[in-house]
């Protein structure tokens, strides 16, 4: 393939109570030298996130806004976004400014060149990052190691938000996780489908809990269960055929 339109990037932005940062994220995305489709999913926020997204859609900064009438979790929000996506490649962009959209063009390159079906942006391959929680880093590395043992991949950051995936591939994967098990599930399904996966370094500016970080130790414990479940019990069907 060639030409930017053939590589339109659908950016899925799940948002729950992110009224303070979501507009800045959208503006950063629009600054990219890429053909973009921005799809925001408001997961029944209790602050002003919904009205902000509706305003951004009216101004043309966002292409599609999906509102969940009930809070269903990040995984469910992403499935709503994937269903609405019309681009060639799909990526998730969290609404909290921890990930820098400026990294996306480089991450897209292996897919554009036909070398990869999916590209993971790794926070642990030497990119610039804010120094924060030691035990978060340890937990992430343990989860990545355990996931790698099941998938036989050699990833350094399984839990990364930045996973660029061919849209035709992600639309046929049987995804069911409603909450933070999505990262484990999508990694397992990509491995089971025989996807060609690349990994590139990205920058990362993590938030503190006072700044709105939502992941807790409970999510880490749940991730261990998800790793076993999604890797040992893949759903039947012909979805693994490339």
- pLDDT range class, residue 26, cuts 50, 70, 90: very high
If you search the block for the tokens 């925001």, which residue do you land on?
40
Q: Which residues contact 241 (CB under 8 A, 6 or more apart)?
A: none
Tokens read off for 128: 């610039």
Q: Tokens standing for 91?
A: 């990526």
**Two tokens, residue 170:** 């992600």
Average pLDDT along the chain: 90
Domains of the chain, CATH where assigned = 4-232 (3.90.550.10)
| CA geometry: angle 179, 185, 188, nearest 5 deg | 170
11 in helix, strand or coil? Answer: strand
Q: Give the angle subtended at the CA of 65 by the CAs of 103 and 81, to the nearest 5°.
A: 60
Give, as one character, the DSSP assignment of residue 19. T
pTM reported for the whole predicted model: 0.89
Q: Are strands 89-92 and 197-201 parallel, antiparallel or unpaired?
A: unpaired
Burial environment of residue 138 by CB neighbours within 10 A (0 to 12, 13 to 18, 19 or more) = exposed
Beta-carbon contacts of residue 164 (< 8 Å; ≥ 6 apart): 9, 89, 90, 91, 104, 107, 108, 111, 118, 119, 121
pLDDT band at 45 (very low <50, low <70, confident <90, very high): very high
Mean pLDDT for 12-36 is 96
Residue 131 above 80 pLDDT? no
CA–CA dist 99, 110 (Å, integer): 19
Q: What pLDDT, on the 0 to 100 scale, is given for residue 191?
A: 97
What's the pLDDT at 180?
Answer: 76
Give the separation between CA 84 and CA 20, rounded to whole angstroms. Answer: 25
User: CB–CB of 129/205 below 8 Å?
Assistant: yes
Q: Lowest mean pLDDT of 71-80, 92-101, 211-220, name the range.
A: 211-220
Question: With contact defined as beta carbons under 8 Å apart, do 166 and 111 qualify?
Answer: yes
- How many H helices and E strands in the chain? 8, 7
Res 1: pLDDT: 42
> Do 169 and 210 touch, CB atoms closer than 8 A?
no
pLDDT bucket at 217, cuts 50 / 70 / 90: low
């Amino acid at each position: 393939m060639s030409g930017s339109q053939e590589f339109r990037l659908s950016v899925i932005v799940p948002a729950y109570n992110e009224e303070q940062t979501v507009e800045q994220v959208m503006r950063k995305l629009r600054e990219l030298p890429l053909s973009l489709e921005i799809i925001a999913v408001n997961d029944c926020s209790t602050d002003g996130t919904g009205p902000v997204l509706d305003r951004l859609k009216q101004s043309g900064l966002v292409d599609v806004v999906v509102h969940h009438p009930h809070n269903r979790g990040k995984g469910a929000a992403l499935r709503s976004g994937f269903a609405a996506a019309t681009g060639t490649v799909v990526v998730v962009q969290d609404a909290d400014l921890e990930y820098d959209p400026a990294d996306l063009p480089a991450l897209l390159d292996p897919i554009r060149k036909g070398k990869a079906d999916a590209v993971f942006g790794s926070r642990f391959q030497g990119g610039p990052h804010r120094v924060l929680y030691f035990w978060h880093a340890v937990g992430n590395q343990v989860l990545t190691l355990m996931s790698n043992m099941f998938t036989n991949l050699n990833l350094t950051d399984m839990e990364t938000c930045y996973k660029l995936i061919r849209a035709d591939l992600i639309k046929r994967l049987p995804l069911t996780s409603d909450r933070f098990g999505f990262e484990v599930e999508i990694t397992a399904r990509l491995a089971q489908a025989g996807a060609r996966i690349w990994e590139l370094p990205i920058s990362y500016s993590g938030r503190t809990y006072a700044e709105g970080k939502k992941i807790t130790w409970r999510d880490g414990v749940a991730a261990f269960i998800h790793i076993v479940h999604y890797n040992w019990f893949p759903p039947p069907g012909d979805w693994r055929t490339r």
